[in-house]
Amino acid sequence: MFSAFIKYSTLFLFIAWNVLARAQELNCNVTIIPPRVIISDAEIFKTMENVVEEFINNRKWSKDNWDTKEKIECSIQITIEQQVSNRQFKGSIQVSSSRPVFNSNYKTPVLSINDKNFEYSYQDNANLQWSQDQHRDNLTSVIAFYCNLILAMDYDTFSNEGGTDHYLLCQTIVTNAQNAPESGWKASERGQQNRYWLIENILSQSFKPLREGLYTYHRQGLDVMYYDIQKGRDNIGRVIDDLKSIHKIRPASYNLQTFFYAKSSEIVSIFQPAVEEEKKPIYETCKLIDAGNITKYEKIMQ
């Protein structure tokens, strides 16, 4: 009897562990940089860091089952520039994610973005709660927005427009936050470099080359380079050339800036070894679309 109890208890624990191991999709490292002037117990920032990390890594964000080894490597850095009160904070949030390249040890950056419109409140030792049906507070909504964006872009790199469901969840989060007092959610805000336009653009027909390009660049570009470097490079070059259509309609768009912020150094590394007639068009296109990194792209021609 006792041995049967041990056997079934062990089996239950194994099943429970296996379910948990396959549940969460993100392996996120969270760093919070405190402000220069701290008006509360400094320990709150370490607690906040742990709470945010647990909120991200212990939650199931998708409907799919993920193996532990499939988890998306990502990081979130919150830089607090001002502690307004014991519970109110202003600063920026930098989000990055990567995915492995097939048959290699290389991990390619997929998302790299620095959101400077980040204001939130936090009660020390409070658990973070989020529902996709409502905007509870800015901290959880912003974190949930970027977790879904990480997933959306990762899915897009493995199947053509595979991340649509998570982009739509991002759009729902934006819609729910329209009455929030904090910035970053509204179309009417000055400039178009916020969460509203990031999702509005990526779901529009005009930005279809970028959505499709995420798949081609990664699955038909980087993932095939281990057996056919030229084929992979050709496909990546086609993606970059196709982005000119977006630049023509929406020059200096936030989405293109975000793409090149993650990919510019990698593009240089991919095309620098190519022959001149192959890399010169890429060099000219990158200079046109991503003018802020002209100095970096000059290395392609060296």
174 with 47, same domain?
A: yes
Instruction: Give a yes or no: residue 123 inside a domain.
Output: yes
Distances (CA, A) of 108 to 135, 217, 255, 282: 33, 11, 18, 19
Q: Does residue 108 come out as left (phi exceeding 0), alpha (psi in the -120 to 50 range) or beta?
A: beta
pLDDT in tens, 97-141: 999 999 999 999 999 999 998 999 998 878 899 999 999 999 999
**Considering only CA atoms, which of 233, 228, 246 is closest in space to residue 277?**
233
139 with 238, same domain?
A: no
Could you list the residue range(s) of the whole structural domain that residue 216 is in? 204-302
End-of-domain residue from the set 162, 179, 196: 179
pLDDT higher than 70, residue 4: no
Instruction: Give a yes or no: residue 133 inside a domain.
Output: yes
Tell me what the mean pLDDT of segment 193-214 comes to: 96
Instruction: Give a yes or no: residue 1 inside a domain.
Output: no
Structure tokens at 110: 């997929």
Instruction: Give a yes or no: residue 198 inside a domain.
Output: no
Measured distance CA(289)–CA(1) in Å, rounded: 72
Its pTM stands at: 0.91
- Quote the pLDDT of residue 3: 46
Tell me what the mean pLDDT of segment 180-193 comes to: 91
- Quote the pLDDT of residue 15: 37
pLDDT higher than 70, residue 213: yes
pLDDT higher than 70, residue 17: no
pLDDT higher than 60, residue 12: no
37 with 157, same domain?
A: yes
Return the percentage of the chain with pLDDT > 70, whole number: 92
208 with 171, same domain?
A: no
162 with 212, same domain?
A: no
How many domains does the structure of the chain reveal?
2
147 with 230, same domain?
A: no
Residue length, the chain? 302
Instruction: Give a yes or no: residue 12 inside a domain.
Output: no
118 with 46, same domain?
A: yes
Instruction: Give a yes or no: residue 7 inside a domain.
Output: no
Return the percentage of the chain with pLDDT > 90, whole number: 85
Measured distance CA(223)–CA(153) in Å, rounded: 16
Tell me what the mean pLDDT of segment 177-184 comes to: 95
- Quote the pLDDT of residue 192: 82
End-of-domain residue from the set 118, 145, 179: 179
Q: How confident is the model at residue 271 (pLDDT cuts 50, 70, 90)?
A: very high
172 with 248, same domain?
A: no
Measured distance CA(138)–CA(188) in Å, rounded: 18
Structure tokens at 182: 């904090």
Mean pLDDT over each residue of the chain, to the nearest integer: 91
Tell me what the mean pLDDT of segment 171-176 comes to: 98
pLDDT higher than 50, residue 294: yes
Structure tokens at 118: 């980040």
- Quote the pLDDT of residue 178: 96
What does R_g of the chain's alpha carbons equal in angstroms? 21
156 and 111 in contact (C-beta within 8 Å)?
A: no
pLDDT in tens, 48-107: 999 999 999 999 999 998 888 899 999 999 999 999 999 999 999 999 999 999 999 999
Instruction: Give a yes or no: residue 65 inside a domain.
Output: yes
Crossing angle (nearest 10°) for helices 195-202 and 138-158: 30
Q: How confident is the model at residue 24 (pLDDT cuts 50, 70, 90)?
A: confident
Instruction: Give a yes or no: residue 225 inside a domain.
Output: yes
174 with 209, same domain?
A: no
138 with 246, same domain?
A: no
28 with 168, same domain?
A: yes
- Quote the pLDDT of residue 23: 59
109 with 44, same domain?
A: yes
